[in-house]
């Protein structure tokens, strides 16, 4: 079951904040967040594990609500470099990740 | 450390032809993944290796796709014969361990166009 991401697209001015959500219909083992710029490879941002452990970049924050089976990525004081498509990947056990359809973020000066 | 290497970066073939992609993961990474990313969509896992053994190939169209990871390092993904719907970016990724508590590092991908 592919996770659902919302919103599909976000347009921001530099310095503004944004929240990207990722929802699953099944109980989650972990949620991964990646950012992909046009024509480039996805880049790892964060992993959130069942039980509360998190691994990722210091400047990125995210939450994982196990009861609601959803995760949110918080982008604060956005910079031009934040532009790209954000994908969440969900895992229901230790097997494969299933990626969502992405949220396109554009930051303008 | 060097990242995940892939070649070629671009490939154009006609339908029914065959094509092969190569991936060299980050040194020491035990797990290797091949993903297919169709324009506008998220990556879709085709096959996952742990060292040189297959962990998951449930979404690999085995009538036309094959993959191997010799000696637990490099990997090749082959399509034979190609169909128009195979046009996509093929991403290789690697991680230190098996399971979803490890981050994945992606290569630059191979953009395949089937005409």
B65-87 confidence digits (pLDDT tens): 999 998 889 999 999 999 999 99
* CA A15 – CA A45 distance, rounded (Å): 19
Q: Among B91, B100, B107, whose Cβ lies nearest the Cβ of A97? A: B100
On chain B, the residues whose CB falls within 8 A of the CB of A53 are: 101
CB B108 within 8 A of CB B92: no
> CA separation (Å) from A31 to A35, A68, B27, B107?
14, 13, 25, 21
**Closest alpha carbon to A41 in B40, B101, B93:** B93
Average pLDDT over residues B15-37: 96
Contact B107, B93 (CB under 8 A): yes
Distance of alpha carbon B100 from alpha carbon A50, whole angstroms? 11
The mean of the pLDDT values for chain A is: 92
Q: Which residues of chain A have a CB within 8 Å of the CB of B103? A: 32, 44, 47, 55-56
What is the least distance, in Å, from the CA of B96 to any CA of chain A?
14
B positions 16-75 inside 8 Å of A (CB) = 40-45, 48, 55-56
From the list B4, B101, B105, the residue facing A30 with the nearest CB is B101
Residue A73 near residue A87, CB atoms below 8 Å: no
> What is the separation, in whole angstroms, between the first and last Cα of chain A?
37
Whether the Cβ atoms of residue B109 and residue A37 lie closer than 8 Å to each other: no
Which residues from chain A sit within 8 angstroms of residue B102, using beta carbons?
47
Q: Name the residue in chain B with its Cα closest to that of A32.
A: B103
Mean pLDDT of all residues in B3-19: 97
Please compute the mean of the pLDDT values over residues A30-38 and round it to a whole number: 95
Q: Is the pLDDT of residue B30 over 80?
A: yes
pLDDT tens digits for range A79-89: 999 999 999 99
In chain A, the percentage of residues whose pLDDT exceeds 90 is 73
Whether residue A17 contacts residue A79, with contact meaning beta carbons closer than 8 Å, is answered with: no
Q: How many angstroms separate the CA atoms of B94 and B34, rounded?
A: 9
- Averaged over A30-41, what is the pLDDT? 94
The pLDDT confidence band at residue A26, using thresholds 50, 70 and 90, is: confident
- What are the percentages of helix, strand and coil residues in chain B, rounded to 5? 5, 50, 45
Instruction: State the average pLDDT for chain B.
Output: 94
Q: Rounded CA gap, A36 and A54, in Å? A: 21
| Chain-chain contact of A87 with B91 (C-beta, under 8 angstroms) | no
């Amino acid at each position: 079951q592919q996770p659902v991401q919302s919103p599909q697209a976000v347009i921001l001015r530099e310095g503004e904040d944004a929240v990207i959500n990722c929802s699953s219909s099944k109980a989650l083992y972990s949620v991964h967040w990646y950012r992909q710029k046009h024509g480039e490879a996805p880049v790892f941002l964060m992993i959130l594990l069942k039980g509360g452990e998190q691994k990722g970049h210091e400047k990125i924050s995210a939450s994982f609500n196990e009861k609601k089976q959803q995760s949110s990525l918080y982008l604060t004081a956005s910079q031009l470099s934040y532009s790209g498509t954000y994908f969440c990947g969900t895992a229901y056990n230790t097997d494969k990740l299933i990626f969502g359809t992405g949220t396109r973020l554009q930051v303008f000066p | 450390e060097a990242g995940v290497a892939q070649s070629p970066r671009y490939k154009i073939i006609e339908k029914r032809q065959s094509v092969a992609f190569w991936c060299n993961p980050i040194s020491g990474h035990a797990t290797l993944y091949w993903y297919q990313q169709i324009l506008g969509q998220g990556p879709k896992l085709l096959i996952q290796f742990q060292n040189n053994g297959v962990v998951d190939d449930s979404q690999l169209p085995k009538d036309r796709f094959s993959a191997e990871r010799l000696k637990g390092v490099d990997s090749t993904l082959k399509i034979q014969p190609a169909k128009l719907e195979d046009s996509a970016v093929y991403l290789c990724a690697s991680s230190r361990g098996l399971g979803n508590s490890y981050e994945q590092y992606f290569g630059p991908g191979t953009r395949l166009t089937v005409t």
